[in-house]
Amino acid sequence: MSWQQTLEQTVTGLGYDLVDLERSAGGLLRVTIDFPWNPAVPEQRFVTVEDCERVTRQLQFLLEVENVDYKRLEVGSPGIDRPLRHEADFERFVGEVVDITLKLPIGEAAAAGMAANRKKFRGVLERAPDGGWQLVWSDAPEPKPGQRVSKKAKPVPMNVLGFHLDEIREARLAPIVNFKGRSAADGLRPPNMNPITAQQTGKAGE
């Protein structure tokens, strides 16, 4: 078992989800955690500084045992560009605007006016009729503030991209902050969109 797998098991064993694990060339090891999502619970718990410090204490000893070379450990909560890694992540954020990058370009499946070599897309995440996933978006410009939209106006054409999770190289919540109000899915995000972190420099005992 790799140290990355052991780290994920440790985070899970403490009652959290491992959202992301990044290791930079400068020696920074960044661990992003969250509470597991439970659709039956109307109000989700959000990670606090105390949660980050708790995980940091456990991981610093784990990394010493695994002899992982790092200069700084940073444990934090997800930001507004939270990565989506698992099926449960996609289920949780249905209805949100998501950025995805495909492993391969869409090729012959490209719709009219869409480049066949395109890999990156932004749209609203939905369940597809075939049980997979899809992004829905419009390339039409949004109405300007205060602009009246005629009731006789033609419906805005929508683009739909269907995909399965094994086709995705990367998926993240689109870093969009809505200052005008809250959408239905905004309740899944903490009021403070800045990630909460706890840091530890060097290995345990240094």
Q: Looking at the predicted structure, is the pLDDT value of residue 190 above 70?
A: no
User: What is the C-alpha radius of gyration for the chain, rounded to an integer number of angstroms?
Assistant: 20
Closest CA to 93 of 169, 161, 39: 39
* Secondary element (H or E) of residue 173: strand 168-173
Same domain, 92 and 41: no
Is residue 87 scored above 70 in pLDDT? yes
Better-scored residue on pLDDT, 27 or 149? 27
Cα angle: 4, vertex 10, 12; to 5 degrees: 105
**pLDDT per position as a tens digit, 70-79:** 999 999 999 8
Contact 77, 18 (CB under 8 A): no
* 132 contacts: CB under 8 Å, gap ≥ 6: 162, 163, 164
12 shares its domain with 72: yes
Are residues 33 and 52 both part of a single domain? yes
Same domain, 112 and 53: no
Output 42 or 113, whichever has higher pLDDT. 42
Q: For residue range 3-61, list pLDDT tens digits in order.
A: 999 999 999 999 999 999 999 888 999 999 999 998 888 788 889 999 999 999 999 99
Closest to 168 in 3D by CA, of 115, 129, 120: 120
- Cα–Cα dist 143/84, whole Å: 30
Tell me how many domains the chain contains: 2
The mean pLDDT of the chain is 83
Strand partners, 21: 31
Q: Calculate the alpha carbon distances from 80 to 31, 94, 162, 175 in Å.
A: 16, 15, 24, 5
Domain that holds residue 10: 3-80+189-201
For residues 11 and 34, give the distance between their C-alpha atoms in angstroms, rounded to a whole number: 10
pLDDT computed for residue 63 by the predictor: 94
Q: How far is CA 129 from CA 91, 92, 197, in A?
A: 15, 18, 39
Q: What CATH number does the domain containing 110 carry?
A: 2.30.30
Averaging pLDDT over each range in 121-130, 139-148, 196-205, which range is the top one? 121-130
In the numeric block, the tokens 């105390």 are attached to 50
